[in-house]
Amino acid sequence: MNLQGLVISLPAILLALSVHEFAHGYVAYRLGDMTPKYQGRLTLNPLAHLDLIGTIMLIFVHFGWAKPVLVNPVNFRVDQKKGMLYVALAGPLSNVLLALTGGILYNLLVKMNAGYFWILLVQFLIIINVNLAVFNLIPIPPLDGSKILAGLLPYKMHHIVYQLEAYGPIILILLLVTNVFGTIFGPIIGGILDIIMRISNLII
């Protein structure tokens, strides 16, 4: 990515990460856990959410993460297993919805003959949000996908996910370095982007 692309993509990256983590915190808060509020995570201010390494990764390889929102499922008003499933789903789902919003905005900007800067910014917004959603759905700790998997598995099988926690970061680094992510998830991301643009074309 050239310097111009880097500068234009930064607002999209900050928004994508902030919305993702806010969604986690907000759902946990709505389920009865005040922990995200006490931590100051119920905000879209990027400074409350950014992880330096995760942000750099997202800028340069389009896969990254923010500072995790801590929650205490004991405080949930629903079953703890279901509550954690809802909290984990909220992040990726918020990015998909933000990408769809970007698709609608992109069509509007094109029809208005908006400037190159704005169209490119929205394109980055769409691409980054889809990448962030797909990356976080991978069922490897500490990503959201591992918590979603734990929420779907019977309690007696939770040990499968928990045993991966110690090795999760190493596995993720290896997958990134060997470009397995790009090979496996590239077509998936491309398919989701196509669906989002088709849907947004129907709306606008």
SS3 call for 92: helix
Active-site pick, 13, 21, 49, 161: 21
For residue 88, give the DSSP letter.
H
Taking CA atoms, 76 is separated from 4, 79, 85, 146, 188, in Å, by 45, 7, 12, 19, 34
DSSP characters for 159-181?
Answer: HHHHHHTTTHHHHHHHHHHTTHH
Please confirm, yes or no, whether 21 is among the known catalytic residues: yes
Report whether 16 contacts 98 (CB < 8 A).
yes
Report whether 130 contacts 196 (CB < 8 A).
yes
Q: Catalytic residue positions?
A: 21
